[in-house]
């Protein structure tokens, strides 16, 4: 067989191999999807062992279970106005009105609260003439995010890892030999009474095995999503522990809900409900795959995780769509018999390869090249279509009502959502945007699905922008705005007014892309992302690829009043290749007020010294870091983006020392306003400037510790 012929079978073997390790066993795929709880520890253990033996877990009971070895070797809702504070202040940039999101910085019109590595600082910020720290809390770990609810401060974070002896953890008798032990990541939810801002008082302390994932606050209830490991030894399952103040308990088997459907790997997704008023804590734990992305409305939490499909189904479809149409009748019959036989996977693979190779070798030399090209084309088309089945996402709907948590149902969609903005709930329907396939082999496709209240797909728009992937999505009322990218930036405007028949209304193609979309008003959208330059023919060469080199940060204003012909009406480019902004990946770093015509984003500025390149600067050249801080814009429909000025906490000397990697506790991460004052916040400083002319008023240094590595403490 010639080298090209060998290549043809390589992709078949690769597809089958991927199927064997990425998907689940055929005899499990037909189980009905129901929710149950375990009656005993043994039932849980047997369930996970059965999963392990069914072939969809790599390591023991699953890849995400911790293997034990012997170790010796939209703005948030307004808060109550505080005495002496201002009623005009910014809130965290959130997705859903009435659903607050935790962040590293909060303010209430009088005080600014900053989570900075090990500490949470409370700063008296208004009036701004004399910024001062009233108090700070050492969390004995890493403070990740916070909420403020009247006189309560909620802190989420990580603390030191604990080491457990496995046998003691499950309550069985010690062996004569030293049992294996394991370390567990630990996270916490801590609530402080801050009615006296100078003396915060810890009133609730919940510490749990696992990782804090995300949270939302609706009214006086905080909902916390946690990924918890299930650790096992050779013979035993070790369940996560939770410490409520001074009471230490393990998650009981009858408190774990599971779906009668197999996963490639298992973790506990635990949802805590915390009543800020009474300090009561409730929870529900679900045995799922790793929770990847969540969306929360005022009534529901939607959890997502990867779904696995049957390896037998996937194998058969590849052969059915690619191999069988290409070979003669006799060879096709033999391949079908092989697939339906009782041999092992590897025996079938070898026999099919032999049958295919024999057929190929019998072809006249004049036909082989054409045959190979047809096979390659068929495989590419089949793979793109099969990605909708191979790459599916499970969606779980959890009802939340006044602190109560109840499972509603499960659905599934083809593809992978990008982030929380890829999902939305509107008029009883759940909308989700996904990507299937991969850019590198040009099998990627992009889709929007509409699901009813029972999570059945009722409408869809599929196969948008082939060969590209989603970079940003924003659902606004009856429309969706979606940006895809590989070479140019198509902005799609999609009509969802009829959930059963969604349709593309129009699209705009411009260089670059937007990583985040934000509504300006009903007919204008703000985008922040990167500028891009199309690769030259010399750069593309013989690779037959279409791509572009991203450049500096770009902010755009899109007019979508003519839905069939959206247009970019204003843009502002910042820096050269290497310039970055935290707002590209974290919407909470994006501050916008239409009433104040104000837009502020953090920028790490990179610039190219053209004198270093006498022969010209190529598009893939990175600039050197020269500045970090906040860019302050005036934004109006008439003028577009007008740069008012820049605010920095760092010094020029620090930037010169940064080299190819910039990291500084003075890196501006957030901005906010109280009345006519803009505040910028880094790990080590809060600075106040006048909003009209950006003149500095005052600043205060925050207590700061170097990055905490709690597992070493």
Per-residue pLDDT tens digits for 58-88: 333 333 333 333 333 365 554 555 667 788 9
Do 259 and 35 touch, CB atoms closer than 8 A? Answer: yes
Q: How far apart, in whole angstroms, are the C-alpha atoms of residue 153 and residue 705?
A: 21
Q: How far apart, in whole angstroms, are the C-alpha atoms of residue 69 and residue 166?
A: 10
Compute the C-alpha angle 646/649/651, nearest 5°: 100
The two three-digit tokens of residue 367, written as one number: 């036909």
* Residue linked to tokens 């809130």: 91
Highest mean pLDDT among 98-112, 240-254, 336-350: 98-112
Q: How far apart, in whole angstroms, are the C-alpha atoms of residue 509 and residue 570?
A: 15
Query: In this structure, are strands 201-209 and 247-250 parallel, antiparallel, or unpaired?
Result: unpaired
The two three-digit tokens of residue 482, written as one number: 């979606």
Q: State pLDDT tens for residues 23-47.
A: 444 444 444 456 889 999 889 888 8
Q: Which of 1-10, 76-85, 301-310, 673-682 has the lowest mean pLDDT?
A: 1-10
Q: Is the pLDDT of residue 571 over 90?
A: yes
Nearest to 626 by CA among 590, 653, 589: 653
Do 50 and 31 touch, CB atoms closer than 8 A? Answer: no
- Average pLDDT value for residue range 491-495: 97
Instruction: Compare 56 and 332 and report the one with higher pLDDT.
Output: 332
Q: State pLDDT tens for residues 180-216.
A: 455 668 999 999 999 999 999 999 999 999 999 999 9
Number of Cα atoms under 13 Å in the Cβ half of residue 596: 21
Residue 582's SS3 state is helix
* Residue linked to tokens 């149950």: 36
The two three-digit tokens of residue 155, written as one number: 């802190």
Domain assignments of the chain as residue spans, ordered by start: 3-30+309-389
The two three-digit tokens of residue 531, written as one number: 């500028």
pLDDT at residue 607, rounded to an integer: 96
Predicted TM-score of the model (pTM):
0.86
Residue 330's SS3 state is helix
- Average pLDDT value for residue range 354-370: 88
Q: What is the DSSP string of 512-558?
A: SEEEEEEEEETTEEEEEEEEEEEPPHHHHGGG----EEEEEEEEEEE
- Average pLDDT value for residue range 488-506: 94
Q: Is the pLDDT of residue 713 over 50?
A: no
Query: In this structure, are strands 119-124 and 111-116 parallel, antiparallel, or unpaired?
Result: antiparallel
- Average pLDDT value for residue range 512-533: 96
Q: Spell out where 579-619 has E strands.
A: 591-593, 598-607
Q: Which residues contact 303 (CB under 8 A, 6 or more apart)?
A: 225, 269, 286, 288, 291, 294, 395, 396, 398
Compute the C-alpha angle 402/405/409, nearest 5°: 130
Q: Is the pLDDT of residue 371 over 80?
A: yes
Q: State pLDDT tens for residues 118-156.
A: 999 999 999 999 899 999 999 989 999 999 999 999 999
pLDDT at residue 62, rounded to an integer: 33
Query: Which helix (DSSP H) or strand (DSSP E) does residue 510 occupy?
Result: strand 503-510
The two three-digit tokens of residue 356, written as one number: 């295919």
pLDDT at residue 513, rounded to an integer: 94
Nearest to 662 by CA among 674, 679, 650, 645: 650
Q: How far apart, in whole angstroms, are the C-alpha atoms of residue 272 and residue 288?
A: 16
pLDDT band at 664 (very low <50, low <70, confident <90, very high): very high
DSSP state of 322: I
pLDDT at residue 46, rounded to an integer: 86
pLDDT at residue 336, rounded to an integer: 86
614 DSSP β-pair partners? none
Q: Which residues contact 419 (CB under 8 A, 6 or more apart)?
A: 293
514 DSSP β-pair partners? 529
Q: Is the pLDDT of residue 309 over 50?
A: yes
Q: Is the pLDDT of residue 598 over 70?
A: yes
pLDDT band at 17 (very low <50, low <70, confident <90, very high): very low
Q: Is the pLDDT of residue 443 over 60?
A: yes
pLDDT at residue 83, rounded to an integer: 60
Nearest to 210 by CA among 244, 236, 240, 173: 240
Do 145 and 104 touch, CB atoms closer than 8 A? Answer: yes
- Average pLDDT value for residue range 101-113: 99
Q: How far apart, in whole angstroms, are the C-alpha atoms of residue 167 and residue 86?
A: 57
The two three-digit tokens of residue 396, written as one number: 């779980």
Q: Is the pLDDT of residue 529 over 70?
A: yes
Residue 89: cis peptide before it, omega within 30 degrees of 0:
no
pLDDT band at 544 (very low <50, low <70, confident <90, very high): low
């Amino acid at each position: 067989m010639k080298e090209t012929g060998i290549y043809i079978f390589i992709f078949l073997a690769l597809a089958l191999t991927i199927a064997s390790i990425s998907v689940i066993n055929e005899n499990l795929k037909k189980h009905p999807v129901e929710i149950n709880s375990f009656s005993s520890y043994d039932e849980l253990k047997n369930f996970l062992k059965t999963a392990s033996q069914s072939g969809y877990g790599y390591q023991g009971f699953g890849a995400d279970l911790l293997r034990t070895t012997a170790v010796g070797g939209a703005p948030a809702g307004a808060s109550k106005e505080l005495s002496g504070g201002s009623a005009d202040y910014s809130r965290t940039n959130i997705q859903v009105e009435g659903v607050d999101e935790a962040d590293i910085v909060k303010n209430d019109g009088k005080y600014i609260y900053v989570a900075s590595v090990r500490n949470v600082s409370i700063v008296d910020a208004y009036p701004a003439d004399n910024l001062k720290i009233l108090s700070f809390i050492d969390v004995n770990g890493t403070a990740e995010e916070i909420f403020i609810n009247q006189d309560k401060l909620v802190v989420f974070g990580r603390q030191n890892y604990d080491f457990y002896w496995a046998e003691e953890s499950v309550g069985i008798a010690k062996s004569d030999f030293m049992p294996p032990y394991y370390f567990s990541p630990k996270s916490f939810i801590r609530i402080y009474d801050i009615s006296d801002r100078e003396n915060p008082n810890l009133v609730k302390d919940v510490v749990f095995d696992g990782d804090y994932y995300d949270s939302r606050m609706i009214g006086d209830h905080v909902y916390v999503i946690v990924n918890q490991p299930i650790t096992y030894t050779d013979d035993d399952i070790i369940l996560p522990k939770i410490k409520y103040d001074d009471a230490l308990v393990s998650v009981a088997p009858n408190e774990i809900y599971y779906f009668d459907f197999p996963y490639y790997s298992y973790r506990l997704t635990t949802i805590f409900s915390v009543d800020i008023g009474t300090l009561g804590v409730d929870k529900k734990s679900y045995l799922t795959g790793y929770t990847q992305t969540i969306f929360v409305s005022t009534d529901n939490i939607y959890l997502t995780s990867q779904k696995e499909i049957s390896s037998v189904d996937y194998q058969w479809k590849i052969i059915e769509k690619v191999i069988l149409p290409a070979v003669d009748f006799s060879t096709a019959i033999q391949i079908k018999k092989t697939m339906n036989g009782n041999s092992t996977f590897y025996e079938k693979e070898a026999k099919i390869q032999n049958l295919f190779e024999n057929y190929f070798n019998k072809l006249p030399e004049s036909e082989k090249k054409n045959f190979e090209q047809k096979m390659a084309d068929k495989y590419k088309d089949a793979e793109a279509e099969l990605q909708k089945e191979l790459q599916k996402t499970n969606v779980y709907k959890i009802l939340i009502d006044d602190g109560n948590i109840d499972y509603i149902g499960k659905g599934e969609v083809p593809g992978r959502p990008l982030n929380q903005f890829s999902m939305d709930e509107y008029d009883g329907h759940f909308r989700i945007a996904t990507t299937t396939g991969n850019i590198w082999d040009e099998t990627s496709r992009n889709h929007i699905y509409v699901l009813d209240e029972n999570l059945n797909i009722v409408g869809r728009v599929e196969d948008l922008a082939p060969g590209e992937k989603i970079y940003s999505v924003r659902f606004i009322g009856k429309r969706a705005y979606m940006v895809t990218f590989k070479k140019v930036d198509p902005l799609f405007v999609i009509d969802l007014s009829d959930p059963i028949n969604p349709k593309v209304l129009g699209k705009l193609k411009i260089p670059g892309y937007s990583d985040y979309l934000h509504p300006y008003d009903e007919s204008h959208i703000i985008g922040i992302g990167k500028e891009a330059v199309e690769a030259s023919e010399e750069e593309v060469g013989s690779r037959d690829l279409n791509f572009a080199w991203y450049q500096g940060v770009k902010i755009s204003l899109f007019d979508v009043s003519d839905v069939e012909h959206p247009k970019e009406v204003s843009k502002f480019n910042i820096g050269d290749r290497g310039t970055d902004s935290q707002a590209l990946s974290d919407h909470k770093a994006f501050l916008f007020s239409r009433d104040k015509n104000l837009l502020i984003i953090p920028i790490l500025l990179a610039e190219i010294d053209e004198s270093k390149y006498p022969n010209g600067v190529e598009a893939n050249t990175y600039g050197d870091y020269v500045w970090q801080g906040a860019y302050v814009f005036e934004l109006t429909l008439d003028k577009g983006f007008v740069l008012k000025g820049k605010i920095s906490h760092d010094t020029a000397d620090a930037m010169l020392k940064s080299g190819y990697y910039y990291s500084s506790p003075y890196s501006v991460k957030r901005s906010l306003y109280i009345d006519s004052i803009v505040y910028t916040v880094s790990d080590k400083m809060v600075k106040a400037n006048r909003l009209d002319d950006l003149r500095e008023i005052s600043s205060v240094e925050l207590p700061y510790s170097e990055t905490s590595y709690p597992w070493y403490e």
